[in-house]
Structure 1
Amino acid sequence: MRFIDTIEGLNKVFLTDIPKNSVVLITGAPGTLKSGFTFSMLSSYLKAADEYGLYITLEESKANHIRNMEHMGVKLTENLGILDYSDYRLQFDEYSQDLISTIETQIMQYKRKWGAKFTCVALDSLGALYSLMDEGEDEIRKRLYHLFEPLRRENLTSFVIFESFNTLDQSQSGAGIEGYLADGIIELGISSKQNVSYRFIRVLKMRAATHSMDPWVVTVSDQGLKIYKGIS
Structure 2
Amino acid sequence: MRFVDTIHGLNEAFETDIPRNSVVLVTGAAGTLKSGFTFQVLSNYLNNVDEYGLYITLEQSEENHLKNMQSMGINLSKKLHISDFSDYRVMYGDFPDDLLNLLEQNILEFKRNTGEKCTCLAIDSLGALYSLLDIEPRELRKRMYRMLESFRRENLTTFLILEEGKASDINDSSTGAEGYLADGIIELGLHLKGNVANRYMRIRKMRAASHSMEPWILTVSDSGLKVYKGNF
The TM tier, using the shorter chain, reads over 0.9
**Which one is further off, 222-231 or 23-32?**
222-231
Answer whether contact 1:92 1:102 (CA < 8 A) is retained. no
Give the structure 1 partner of residue 98 of structure 2.
98
Change (3 A) 1:174 1:123: same
Matching of residues 161-180 of structure 1 within 5 Å: 161-164=161-164, 165=166, 167-168=168-169, 170=171, 173-176=174-177, 178-180=178-180
Cα separation, partners in 2 of 1:137 and 1:222, compared to 1, 3 Å: farther
Match of 1:44 in 2: 44
Aligned residue number for residue 220 of structure 2 = 220
Match of 1:117 in 2: 117
Map 1:84-163 onto structure 2 (within 5 A). 84-92=84-92, 96-163=96-163
Q: 1:224 to 1:27 in 2, by over 3 A?
A: same
Query: Is the 2:170–2:215 contact (alpha carbons within 8 Å) kept by the matching residues of 1?
Result: no
Name the SS of the counterpart of 1:158 in structure 2. Answer: strand
Q: Specify every segment of 5 or more residues in structure 2 that has no aligned partner in the other structure, as ranges.
A: none
SS at match of 1:174: coil
What is residue 196 of structure 1 aligned with on the other side? 196
CA contact (8 A) 1:218 1:228 kept: yes
Deviation at 1:222, TM superposition (A): 2.6
CA–CA separation in structure 1 for the residues paired with 2:116 and 2:86: 27
Aligned residue identity for 2:82:
I
The answer on whether the counterparts of 2:25 and 2:186 sit within 8 Å (CA) in structure 1 is yes
Percent identical: 58
Change (3 A) 1:91 1:79: same
Distance change in 2, residues 1:27/1:41 (3 Å): same
Matched AA of 2:111: K
SS in 2 for 1:48: coil
Please say if residues 185 and 206 of structure 2, whose CA atoms lie closer than 8 Å, have aligned partners that are also in contact. yes
Conserved? CA contact 2:20–2:156, under 8 Å = yes
Q: Structure 1 residue runs of 4+, over 3 Å off? A: 92-95, 169-172
Cα offset for 1:90?
A: 2.7
> Aligned-pair distance for 1:93?
5.2
Q: Aligned-pair distance for 1:78?
A: 1.1
Consecutive unaligned residues of structure 1, counting only runs of 5 or more, are none
User: Would you say the 8 A contact 1:130–1:137 is kept in 2?
Assistant: no
58-67 or 131-140, which deviates more: 131-140
How many residues end up aligned between the 2 structures? 231
Q: How does 1:60-75 map to 2 (within 5 A)?
A: 60-75=60-75
Query: Contact 2:88–2:95 (CA<8 Å) still a contact in 1?
Result: no
What's the TM-score, normalizing by structure 1? 0.95
Q: What is the alpha-carbon distance in structure 1 between the residues aligned to residue 5 and residue 198 of structure 2?
A: 23
**CA deviation map 1:116-160 (0-9, x unaligned):** 100000000110001011223343222111211000000000000
Question: Which residue does the alignment assign to 1:209?
Answer: 209
